[in-house]
Amino acid sequence: DAGVIQSPRHEVTEMGQEVTLRCKPISGHNSLFWYRQTMMRGLELLIYFNNNVPIDDSGMPEDRFSAKMPNASFSTLKIQPSEPRDSAVYFCASSLEAGAQETQYFGPGTRLLVL
């Protein structure tokens, strides 16, 4: 399997622009996670989907952030409008089922820079 695929790998944008990050989970995995990694806060969970349904979005920082999973093989994380403090590395991860004992497989991440 190709693993979790994320695009783009790097994104540079200007403040106020819309940013869309994309993720293709591992085929057959029912759980999908979006994480953000910053120096200040480390790696934190933004949102969790199970069977394409958002289960926990308590980590989404504010209304400028939204995430969708229209089908089992695709998810997006959108920031509109983007701000410099959104600069971070965003990871998508998937697991076969929900639960801590299910290994989460991470994508390579999208490094976002908002100027």
Partner 1 sequence: DQQVKQNSPSLSVQEGRISILNCDYTNSMFDYFLWYKKYPAEGPTFLISISSIKDKNEDGRFTVFLNKSAKHLSLHIVPSQPGDSAVYFCAASRSGGSNYKLTFGKGTLLTVNP
Interacting stretch for partner 1, rule CB under 8 A, among 20-28, 39-47, 63-71, 80-88?
39-47
Q: Which of 2, 24, 29 is CA-nearest to residue 96?
A: 29
Residue 5 Cβ, how far from partner 1 at the closest point, in Å? Answer: 11
If the CB atoms of residues 74 and 105 are measured against partner 1, the closer one turns out to be: 105
Cβ atoms of 28 and 95 closer than 8 Å? no
If the CB atoms of residues 76 and 81 are measured against partner 1, the closer one turns out to be: 76
Cβ atoms of 112 and 86 closer than 8 Å? yes
96 part of the interface to partner 1, by CB under 8 A: no
CA dist 19 and 1 (Å) reads 28
Which amino acid, 77? Answer: L
Enumerate binding residues for partner 1 (CB under 8 A): 4, 31, 33, 42-45, 48, 50, 55-56, 91, 93, 95, 98-109
